[in-house]
Structure 1
Amino acid sequence: MYSALRGEILTLELKPGQYLEETALEKRFGVSRTPIREALIRLQSDRLVKFSPNRGHYVETVSFNDVPRILEALDLQQGAVLQLSAARHSAADLAKLRKINEAYRIAGESDDHKGMAELNHDFHLAIADAAGNSFLAEFYETMLNFSIRLSYLMFQSAASNREDFEGYYTQVYNEHAEMIDLISKGEGVKLLDLSRQHSRLFSNRTLRFISEWSEIDSFVTDFQPKAQ
């Protein structure tokens, strides 16, 4: 139940701001109120669900005004997990990363945008696992949860600008491949530089997308992640 709701929130099947009625969830999953509330509490800790005394539980909104801070936090955490993974990875970690990135390439060739978003998410979670720090991994995953929902929002414009997205996802694949190579060699300093480059790639794509929305404040479009 938790996994099902989490997946639907990340892929925007459950929309930001959508009310999560406990009675309806009980009927849907065929369980009592207690496990429903336990799942909602876990989703709150993931920052995917919020609770209001007057409204109950609802899907965490994605405020474009929060995007600069999300990207900044993601940039800082990504650099940390990459450097730790260079020092602590195993052969199994490298094999898992290569498998995910190859699946990402195949999804890109098939124009499977949903698959690409999920595999990109899985790739960075796998790096966090290789870093061997569960506290850092938990914080990093929270930011990744925001980023995958931003990715799904961007896919709404993909069909009208396919060439642009092809170039973007090819670059993502290539940078992931370079990350794997540098992790395998223990190149922590080079990984930090690549991490910044990778963050700029995502932030530029994201901010280019949201700049098309007239309600976004001008400071958002000018944002760039700060160097570490």
Structure 2
Amino acid sequence: MKAGSEPAESDRGEEAVRVRGSGARLVHAALRGEILALRLSPGSPLDETGLSERFGMSRTPIREALQRLVAEGLATALPNRSTVVTPIDFAGLPAYFEALSLMYRVTTRGAALRPVRDLAAVRASQAAFAAAVAAHDAMAMIEANREFHVAIAAIHGNEHFIALFSRLLDQGRRILRIYYSTFDDRLPRQYVEEHEAMIAALEAGDAERADALASAHARQIVRQIQDFMARDVTASIDLAEADGQKERLHGR
């Protein structure tokens, strides 16, 4: 295009697509972070008009961002064409935990069986995880933990396992965020040490050890989350109020 000339119609169209795409990425990243950090609570409405005003954008990039969140399972499109933050399916947690535990074991064991194992990405993720634990940065812990286990799955090499495990880890981010808050985001050093033990088993190519460590790692995380959920439910019961209701029922 010559200096001083107007851009061609096709150039303007391509530029509009690029701007819209970058806007959608910005909105998606912002909302995704808020959902995972529970600043947007499960079930919260994601109103296109309100979000358009908030981000100063047209509704097109907003709609594209919401579609990405729906594809990731973080948002749900309702029949009335509105969108909400996906509720956490507490009733479905047992099935979720079963699938998650299986993927911990399958991918870690499979990675140890590989004749050639490049652990650079695993070690880098572990270093980031250890730093996040030391800094008490829950969101960084969750992100680094995800990348650690996905890096192990990548060594295993089964693309279906990588995709499934990544999705399961993403689905569990909000549960982990709730769980980490019970420690005041001060995660025990035990988690870092368990990751280190897994790396050692991978280095040694010890599939049985890797499997046992992954299984124990998954079990203790699941058990502690289940214990927390049980405590949270029982702690919400007002026993004094329950006794009062019983006395009123019996006319005392």
Q: TM-score, normalised by structure 2?
A: 0.73
Q: Structure 1 residues 32 and 137 mapped into 2: Cα distance closer, same or farther (>3 Å)?
A: farther
Q: What do the CA deviations read for 1:139-194 (whole angstroms, capped 9, x no partner)?
A: 112211232211111233223xx8xx65xx32211111111122223322322221
Q: Aligned residue for 1:194?
A: 213
Is 1:65 the counterpart of 2:65? The answer is: no
- 1:47-196 matches, within 5 Å, as 47-54=73-80, 56-86=82-112, 87=114, 90-91=117-118, 94-159=119-184, 166=187, 169-196=188-215
Structure 2 CA distance for aligned equivalents of residues 88 and 19 of structure 1? 49
| Aligned equivalents of 1:204, 1:72: Cα separation in 2 | 12
Q: How many residues align?
A: 208
Given the alignment, which residue of 219, 222, 226 partners 1:207? Answer: 226
1:14 is displaced (CA, Å) by 1.9
Report if aligned partners of 1:88, 1:130 keep a CA contact under 8 Å in 2. Answer: no
Shifted more, 82-91 versus 56-65: the winner is 82-91
**Where does the alignment leave 5 or more consecutive residues of structure 1 unmatched?**
217-228
**Partners of 2:207 and 2:163 in 1: how far apart?**
21
Write out per-residue CA displacement over residues 55-100 of structure 1, whole angstroms, 9 at most, x where no aligned residue.
6111111132221111111011222222332317643xx1222222
Distance 1:85 1:105 in 2: 22
Amino acid at match of 1:48: L
CA 1:88/1:20 → structure 2, altered by over 3 Å: closer, same or farther?
farther
Query: Counterpart of 1:172 in structure 2: which amino acid?
Result: Y
- Measured in 2, the distance between the counterparts of 1:136 and 1:200 equals 20
Distance 1:134 1:8, change over 3 A: farther
Q: Could you say which residue in structure 1 is the equivalent of 2:71?
A: 45
| Structure 1 residue 4, shift from structure 2 partner | 3.0
Distance 1:30 1:115, change over 3 A: same
Give the equivalent residue in structure 1 for 2:14: none
2:209 maps to amino acid:
K
- 1:60/1:105 Cα in 2 relative to 1: closer, same or farther (>3 Å)? same
AA aligned to 1:80 is: V
The alignment status of 1:15 with 2:41, answered yes or no, reads yes
Quote the sequence identity (%). 33
CA distance in structure 2 between the partners assigned to 1:111 and 1:153 by the alignment:
14
Deviation at 1:47, TM superposition (A): 1.4
Which amino acid in structure 2 is aligned with residue 12 of structure 1? L
TM-score by length of 1: 0.79
Larger radius of gyration: 2
List structure 1 segments (4+ residues) > 6 angstroms apart after TM superposition.
none
Unaligned runs of 5+ in 2: 1-24, 236-252
